[in-house]
Amino acid sequence: MSITQIVTQVSQPQTILAKPRRSLFSCCNKRNNFVQMADEKPYLTEKQKLVDYTEPNTTTVVEQKIPVQIIQQPKKLLVLDLDETLVHTSFQPVQNADFSVDILIEDAQTVQKFTGYVYKRPYVDEFLAKMKQQFEVIVFTASIQQYCDLVMDILDPDKVIKKLYRTDCTFQNGAYVKDLRRFETDLSQVILMDNSALSCMMQPQNSIICPAFYDDKSDTYLQDIENLMEVLSQCTDIRKVLLGVRDTK
């Protein structure tokens, strides 16, 4: 197994104008005013100009449902991507990573060891602590289970956050897609935050496309989006709130 089979990531742009490219390796005006957050639009991409509030395409085959028990009603379900949303992992040695994980991959004849050097997105610990109070949280990654579990053991030591992996994704048009219809939950109560529009293609109306994180220690996205997340945690239908934000573009 190669590194690109462990983690699904978006390649880092070489310049500020470069658009992220998908590889096999896997908002806000600060916190004061929800309405004004659309002005800076750090969590919406050009691809979301095509997004309107519509019901999911029921003609698409839905794979076996994933049961999700909402423990504390009326909490909504927040589905978070891992790589380039909460963390970024390099498999080349770096000096300023926040922690490292060792992934052991066994095949028929050998055991391969890969060391991942993980950058935590600034404010991720505080963000996850608050999200666990406001939502039922699931990390849904297109990466393999062993890697995700090791990273989440650091980010979520009390093991409150549930986890889903590449094997739970729907593979469509060469991409690992996160189809929210697989959850046994009303879609008006489900949010997906991911840096990849491809991952969100099945329910873009439920999605927040966030800027990809690599190693920028000055990144404030998770802090800036807090006010929007609080609004979403209390609304009746998250799709209508997100549509309202997009309509201000």
Nearest to 242 by CA among 232, 233, 234: 232
CB atoms within 10 A of CB 60: 13
Question: Which of 83, 156, 194, 224 is the catalytic position?
Answer: 83
- Say whether 71 sits in a helix, a strand or coil: coil
Dihedral angle of Cα 197, 205, 186, 225, to the nearest 10 degrees: 80
Q: Are 94 and 117 in contact (CB under 8 A)?
A: yes
Question: Which of 81, 168, 179, 224 is the catalytic position?
Answer: 81
List, in order, residues 6 or more apart from 69 with CB less than 8 Å away.
none
Q: Among this protein's residues, is 81 annotated catalytic?
A: yes
Q: Among this protein's residues, is 83 annotated catalytic?
A: yes
List, in order, residues 6 or more apart from 3 with CB less than 8 Å away.
25, 91, 114
Active site (catalytic) residues: 81, 83
